[in-house]
Amino acid sequence: MARSTTRTSRNTSKDLLTIASLSSQHIAALIKQAQSLQGKRRARRTPRPLVGKTLGLIFEKPSTRTRVSFEAGMNQLGGQSLFLDSEKIQLSRGESLADTAQVLSRYVDGLVVRTFDQTTLEDWATYATIPVINGLTDQCHPCQILADLFTITRKKKRLKGLKLAYIGDGNNVTHSLLEAGALMGMHVSVGCPTGYEPDQKIVDWAQEKALKTKTRIEVTSDPIAAVRNADVLYTDVWISMGQEREQKRRLKALTPYQVNERLLRKAKADAIVMHCLPAHRGEEISTGVLDGPQAVVLEQAENRLDMQNAILINWLGK
């Protein structure tokens, strides 16, 4: 791919920190680019626009899909990646984040940061002079949800007008789904127990945006109402990294919100089931549904690679 055509999704921001920072046009262009890249990858004709580029990966949380897909993607696109364990660089011995970010900006062309606090990610973006991509925070997971939008588009041929029901804990995945649904004209219904609702500020933002895109954003404690007539059912783990001490309380509160065969029957007959993985079978989702014909979780995982390749080209291919 020629250098002049590597940024087809028209990125105007240095960093990718949230879905809310993107426009609907930008998201649509990223989906189109991911589809093109997937076709070329499967035909073993992946373009190599990132030759000579290096991506740094700074992870404070364990990872399978995020790390492997970014590393594989950089390799496929002609670049290389460096995994920087946060416990094994000088940051862990007292060097300031500001100093580390400025030094790394002299060595690599972009950073993927996987951390706990969204403000830590924002600090990386503030001090780094290179693009910073959110590999996951406690607040949001934009790369995952951009790939999910790609998956839904592949399966349903559209986004606007669809209903997506998210069932379970109102976590980082929920937040990014709310932002994405509001921007792309999808009806998003979140079913969660009292006390486990998504951040109200993000819900308010999404509902305000939904007025402009003529869709609905709603949060309910009734999982059956949430999934009624849904085109997409989505769930995620109930106990995220850092919440292990809350396990007993969370399991008790969230058990009625399992995505199982009974709940799936309340959605549309052709609804697809999504889970960003890793899954805890028998907790947030039954094995029968996870392995069933309506689940698209493996395609979701594969689509991380192609969407993140589009992101890498868009943010690093300058």
Identify the CATH number of the domain in which residue 57 sits. Answer: 3.40.50.1370
Structural contact between residues 267 and 289, judged by C-beta atoms closer than 8 angstroms: no
Q: Read off the pLDDT of residues 48-77 as tens digits, 9 standing for 90 and up.
A: 999 999 999 999 988 999 999 999 999 999
Task: Indicate if 140 belongs to the active site.
Answer: no
So what's the pLDDT on residue 1?
Answer: 29
Is the confidence at residue 227, as pLDDT, over 60?
yes
Domain residues for 57? 3-140+304-316
- The rounded distance, in Å, linking the Cα atoms of 89 and 81 is 16
Task: Indicate if 275 belongs to the active site.
Answer: no
In the set 26, 65, 141, 275, the catalytic residue is 141
8-state DSSP, 246:
G
In the set 15, 148, 169, 236, the catalytic residue is 236
In the set 276, 300, 306, 308, the catalytic residue is 276
Structural contact between residues 101 and 154, judged by C-beta atoms closer than 8 angstroms: no
Q: Does residue 280 share a domain with residue 153?
A: yes
In the set 38, 76, 144, 300, the catalytic residue is 144
In the set 41, 114, 187, 275, the catalytic residue is 114
Q: Does residue 135 share a domain with residue 234?
A: no
Percent of the chain exceeding pLDDT 90 equals 88
Task: Indicate if 26 belongs to the active site.
Answer: no
HSE of 210, CA atoms in CB hemisphere, 13 A: 21
Q: Read off the pLDDT of residues 200-212 as tens digits, 9 standing for 90 and up.
A: 999 999 999 999 9
Task: Indicate if 304 belongs to the active site.
Answer: yes
Q: Does residue 214 share a domain with residue 81?
A: no
Q: Read off the pLDDT of residues 134-186 as tens digits, 9 standing for 90 and up.
A: 999 999 999 999 999 999 999 999 999 999 999 999 999 999 999 999 999 99
Task: Indicate if 41 belongs to the active site.
Answer: no
Q: Does residue 230 share a domain with residue 102?
A: no
pTM for this prediction: 0.94
Q: Which is higher by pLDDT, 111 or 61?
A: 111
Residue 75 CB burial class (10 angstroms; 0-12, 13-18, ≥19) = middle
In the set 275, 304, 306, 308, the catalytic residue is 304
How many domains does the chain contain in total?
2
